[in-house]
Structure 1
Amino acid sequence: MQILKVIGLLMEYPDELLWECKEDALALIRRDAPMLTDFTHNLLNAPLLDKQAEWCEVFDRGRTTSLLLFEHVHAESRDRGQAMVDLLAEYEKVGLQLDCRELPDYLPLYLEYLSVLPDDQAKEGLLNVRRSSPCLAVA
């Protein structure tokens, strides 16, 4: 499910590299997820600074729309740390190496992890996220 990795990239903070690769991203979306074509086209054809400001407004303003999955499940409890250790171990099992820039529960990173799993496991992982994250429950 390579499309999950692309969706994760689209959820990242907008940067110049994504805007430079927009034709490749659009081609992949058209081929693998045509229902996202209009969204991706609108995103990547808007001014980068506008989309950066919009991203900050949506994802940097509180827990409800946080891209940190365990924020929705564990908040600040001690269970969050162990959950991250467990998730990191799952990433390592499939060969994903984390750079120290993001926490293991960062949604785009989790989508990248799901993209390398067999389809049935990836779908189960998506269902788990949907159940745990209020901002994704309507999806």
Structure 2
Amino acid sequence: MDRSLKAFSLILSYPTQDLQAAMPEIGGVLAADRRLTAVTRRALRPLIEEIAQSDIYDLEERFVMLFDRSRTISLNLFEHVHGESRDRGGAMVSLMETYREAGFEPMTSELPDHLPVLLEFLSTRPTTEARETLADAAHIFQALAARLERRESLYAPVFAALSQLSGATADVEAVAELLEEPETDPNDLDALDAVWEESEVVFGPDPNAGCPQVRDMLSRIEATTPQTPHPAAE
């Protein structure tokens, strides 16, 4: 198991007291990972300390205000590619099938493209596969890091670290396109309603719909996932 990817999956999950108790171990895992530069490892320390030491209710409130009230920093990756279109639904169906074919059944109510879910899955996969999948999302990580830095959020170094683990250089134009999307004040409920008032996600049967980046990510996962044989019909 890639313990760092598992650690980041936990860090980006909704805060709980169990997570707080585990933060010393999580911090130790990341501090020992030499794939991350010394600068990156130091930059992660304030977030690790905040999660470990802060009041749990304050942590929960900040997490919701940060990730659940802004589409531009959503932890649902396909949100940054498809929004609420049918294409996103098809991509998520394909991703869930990929999880199951690999024997991975997410024990969560989150959507399959939720970053903590994907990171937990990748933590169980071969290193090359995990890096290639992270590389496909490098432009999203860089855009998220930039937006979180603007908000002076301690979560920003997490996305810089994920970019580093991918070993990829993000496409500058793709990052710029994501950053062009206007941000919404999480306290402006009317503006939030307007942003979220779009077409409903429809889980369609076409896993090949959507942009090439998503198809590439899914195809790379599927290419290294053993296929589960279906029993012959009697």
Using the size of structure 2 for normalisation, the TM-score is 0.54
Cα distance 1:100–1:27, how it changes in 2: closer, same or farther (>3 A)?
Answer: closer
The answer for the alignment partner of 2:114 in structure 1 is 106
What is the deviation of 1:75? 0.8
Deviations 1:18-57 (A, max 9, x none): 1122332233233336703443123312222221111111
RMSD value, Cα: 2.1
* Corresponding residue number in structure 1 for 2:86: 78
CA distance, structure 2, for counterparts of residue 28 and residue 100 of structure 1: 24
Give, in angstroms, the shift of residue 136 of structure 1.
4.8
Amino acid at match of 1:10: I
Partner Cα distance (2:30, 2:45) in 1 = 6
TM-score (normalizing by structure 1) = 0.87
Instruction: Tell me the equivalent position of 2:63.
Output: 55
Which structure is higher in helix share? 1
8 A contact 1:129–1:136 mirrored in 2: no
Q: Choose 117-126 or 6-15, whichever is displaced more.
A: 117-126
Gaps of 5+ in 1: none
Give the SS at the match of 2:136.
helix
Alpha-carbon separation, structure 1, partners of 2:79 and 2:5: 21
Q: Which residue number corresponds to residue 4 of structure 1? A: 5
Distance between the aligned counterparts of 1:12 and 1:58, measured in 2? Answer: 12
Q: Does 1:115 align with 2:123?
A: yes
Which residue of structure 2 aligns with residue 43 of structure 1? Answer: 51
Deviations 1:81-113 (A, max 9, x none): 110111112212322112351110000001111
Task: Give the residue type in structure 2 aligned to 1:135.
Answer: L
Identity of counterpart residues, as a percentage? 36
CA contact (8 A) 1:29 1:37 kept: no
Output the CA distance in 2 between the equivalents of 1:29 and 1:123: 17
Q: For the residues of structure 1 that align with 2:108 and 2:18, how far apart are their CA atoms?
A: 20
User: Which of these residues, 127, 139, 143, is aligned with residue 131 of structure 1?
Assistant: 139
User: What residue ranges of structure 2 are gaps of 5+ in the alignment?
Assistant: 147-158, 161-234
Q: Is 1:14 paired with 2:23?
A: no
| Structure 1 letter corresponding to 2:30 | I
Give 4+ residue runs of structure 1 displaced > 6 Å after superposition: none
Query: Aligned equivalents of 1:93 and 1:2: distance in 2?
Result: 22
Matches within 5 A, 1:86-97: 86-97=94-105
Of 67-76 and 40-49, more deviation after overlay is shown by: 40-49
